[in-house]
Amino acid sequence: MSDLTTNQTGRRKIGVLVMSYGTPESIEQVEAYYTHIRRGNPPSPEQLKDLTDRYEAIVGGVFPLRENTDNQVKALENRLNEKHPDAEFVCYQGLKHASPLIEDGVERMVADGITEAVGVVLAPHYSIMSVGGYIKRAQEKADELGLSISFVRSYHLHPQLIEALTIRVEETLTRFQGVAKDKVLVMFTAHSLPEKILEMKDPYPEQLLETSRAIAAKAGVTQWQFGWQSAGQTGVPWLGPDLLDVLRTVKEEQRAEHVLVCPVGFVSDHLEVLYDLDIEAQSTAKELGIHLERTRSLNTDPLYMETLSDVVYERAFAAKE
């Protein structure tokens, strides 16, 4: 194939657009970031204060969140090139709400002479409102610039992903010392979305249940349920039950005093994990007298890097061979 970019040794050069939600890099950036999320409408002073306070509570002046993503992207590039010396992979970041934006990532690839690319999102489950939106923006920019790009849509049942999450559930179970395994309620969680996705036959809820079932089966967990977290306050109904409500009913019905939260929808330490779980849910649990533990985030876990590397490689070679 003559139009493929090759390096000096004749190997195919493949651009990898690694997309994620994006996070501010300083307290000063929170307002611009929030305005972008709100499609250009600046937040009210109360809304801004609420979000700024949440960031301040987790970062203490230093923002480690972007670094988590930077490290994932670097680790993925290393893994791809180590494992597949038959091609050269170059990773570019593209963020939904922060710089470099998805469009910037596509532009940089083209500026570097890349002609074929694969896009992947740092979120394992497909929703038209999340991953679908990332893909649409990348595809539009790629079409405009004449870049050939294909996408990984989801990888929520990849064996290495399930293994990494199962290990985390198992190691977290050991923190409930002296408590029988069936006395710990395992709660799998993910970011809620507006309920209207159900009418759109969105695969998101079912994919999340599939991941949860696979982990529960592999870890031998029988007492588990799924809960949504981090719903927005937008005046429209969001998917429930909400984790915090589940904690309350679990207590009322005396179903469990020990809860293990495994946020399967998030792949690294960010606001939803460090604030919504570690501060907000933890404080609700304390009030209720529930012992709550959460699993470690995947971050650059080699099994997660293997998952990403696999799905990107498959897409690159399945789509173009």
Ligand X SMILES: CC1=C(CCC(=O)O)c2cc3nc(cc4[nH]c(cc5[nH]c(cc1n2)c(C)c5CCC(=O)O)c(CCC(=O)O)c4C)C(CCC(=O)O)=C3C
Annotated binding site: 21, 38, 54-55, 134, 191, 272
The answer to whether residue 251 forms part of the interface with ligand X (CB under 6 A) is no
Number of chain positions touching ligand X (CB under 6 A): 16
Residues at the binding site for Fe(2+) are 191, 272
Task: Tell me which stretch binds ligand X (CB under 6 A): 2-10, 108-116, 143-151, 265-273.
Answer: 265-273
Contact at 8 Å (CB) between 114 and 149? no
List residues forming the annotated binding site for Fe-coproporphyrin III: 21, 38, 54-55, 134
Give the one residue of 5, 72, 93, 130 binding ligand X; rule: CB under 6 A: 130
Task: Identify which of residues 122 and 169 has a Cβ nearer to ligand X in the complex.
Answer: 122
Structure tokens given for 237 = 């109904």
Question: At CB < 8 A and 24+ separation, what contacts does 221-225 make?
Answer: 221/169, 221/181, 221/186, 222/182, 223/182, 223/183, 223/184, 223/185, 223/186, 223/256, 224/185, 224/186, 224/187, 224/188, 225/185, 225/186, 225/187, 225/188
Here the tokens at position 246 are: 């589940």
- Contact track, ligand X, 131-170, x by CB under 6 A: ----------------------------------------
Tokens of 211: 């991941």
Of 18, 51, 187, 219, which lies in the binding site for ligand X, with binding defined by CB under 6 A? 51
Nearer of residues 90 and 135 to ligand X, judged by Cβ: 135
Q: At what angle do helices 65-83 and 302-320 cross, to 10 degrees?
A: 60
Hey, which residues between 270 and 309 contact ligand X (CB under 6 A)? 270-272
DSSP assignment, residue 181?
Answer: G
Return the sign of the alpha-carbon dihedral for residues 240, 159, 312, 94.
Answer: positive
264 part of the interface to ligand X, by CB under 6 A:
no
Interacting residues with ligand X between 66 and 95 (CB under 6 A): none
Cα–Cα distance measured from residue 85 to residue 78, given in angstroms and rounded to the nearest whole number: 11
101 binds ligand X (CB under 6 A): no
* Rounded least distance, CB 192 to ligand X, Å: 8
Say whether 2 sits in a helix, a strand or coil: coil
Residue 123 engages ligand X in binding (rule: CB under 6 A): yes
* Binding residue (CB under 6 A) for ligand X from 18, 59, 65, 101: 65
Binding site for ligand X (CB under 6 A): 20-21, 23, 37, 51, 65, 123, 129-130, 191, 193, 232, 265, 270-272
